[in-house]
Structure 1
């Protein structure tokens, strides 16, 4: 399903998050950054777990090359939530193969809450992690985002309001 973005001629596939989730996820921020910076582009947003699952299913069904062509196709691939869920060994290998085939040909944005030094543990294989980082960090821009969680901000505001109400009654 395609949707129109704010700029004319700009189209992307549907977001990597369903509409019930918060709009300001890292994936959404990445899409907006590219939209405002580059203008027209084709992109495919996905999560790391979804990418691994699609590759695993394609392998079982004998459609591995088709799956690899699918992920090689867009000018921009946004892989969200890398390291959020553990990847099986074949999932880490599939992710490496996607990164490897896109290396120096297409752009890839990764969002993760795992530090670069901890990637070996996240993938369960230091060799795969090192090879992937080698390709990703060559010609890369790494942007660290620090601060409170966007998803917890509403909860924190609600807790603060309840605390003020309780304190007002006690006084």
Structure 2
């Protein structure tokens, strides 16, 4: 038996060495040849625990980076009033294969139809897969881009956005942009083309994007890039917010 003091000293040494090491195959082979069964079980358990801890920590980092406005789940979403494009199913969407292929979605429908809910829920599924996601309302993104440009950090911000596997650009068209803001936002859309996936939520049909971007040619170029590898999903039905409104007395008591 070793004393508590000796055990603590050994523990400190193990912690210090563990922080330094990426264990080589030679060392693993040596250990497997020389270890007792109890030692094998102990080390296997330690490694499994470490992998689980790293997975949890990575997921937490990805969630913080994504900056989702709320926790949303596909399980809580009703697809009854969602019209998928021909030949494309809800299962295809949930598979997330389109993220690996840098394909896009435009979620179109009036306010309160669940566009943001589904976009965030898909983003959270991506995080569960270990993918990097960024959620950004368009108006907020444009303000951040303008501040970055004015402070000389625009290239750094574009580089940061480029690291994402999926960008969720929410509420496109809710606030019209001036030509300066439109050009900055277009650069995000253009640089994402065939490089990373976009989900863009909007209540504006393609033919009216020129009124949002303050430039018909810029709008045409943005639509051209998104449509090439993208799919349009239509959200119908009634406003979920109105149906669940406390003010209108539509929430059922539990």
Distance 1:39 1:28 in 2: 19
Q: Which ranges of structure 2 fall in alignment gaps of 5 or more residues?
A: 1-54, 78-113
Selected match of 1:33 from 97, 110, 122: 122
Aligned to 1:73: 163
Per-residue deviation, residues 111-135 of structure 1 (Å, max 9, x unmatched): 0011111111121110110011111
Runs of 4+ in 1 over 4 A off after TM superposition: 7-10, 34-38
Contact 2:137 2:171 in 1 (8 A): yes
Please name the residue that 1:150 is paired with: 240
Aligned residue for 2:42? none
Q: Report the alpha carbon displacement of residue 28 of structure 1 after superposing the two structures with TM.
A: 3.0
**In the alignment, what sits opposite 1:93?**
183
Aligned counterpart for 1:107 among listed residues 184, 192, 197 = 197
Task: Indicate the residue corresponding to 2:6 in structure 1.
Answer: none
Aligned-partner Cα distance in 1 for 2:67–2:153: 23
Provide the aligned C-alpha RMSD in A: 2.7
Where is the helix percentage greater, Structure 1 or Structure 2? Answer: 2
TM-score calculated relative to the size of structure 2:
0.53
Distance in 1 separating the partners of 2:172 and 2:216: 16
User: TM-score, normalised on structure 1?
Assistant: 0.77
Larger radius of gyration: 2
SS of structure 1 residue aligned to 2:235: coil
Native 8 Å contact 2:242 2:248 kept in 1 = no
Residues 100-157 of structure 1, C-alpha deviation per residue, up to 9 Å, x if partnerless?
1111011111000111111111211101100111111111111111111122222388
Q: How far 1:14 moved relative to its partner?
A: 2.5
SS at match of 1:111: strand
SS of the equivalent of 1:158 reads coil
Higher relative contact order (CA 8 A, sep 6+): 2
Unaligned runs of 5+ in 1: 1-6, 162-171
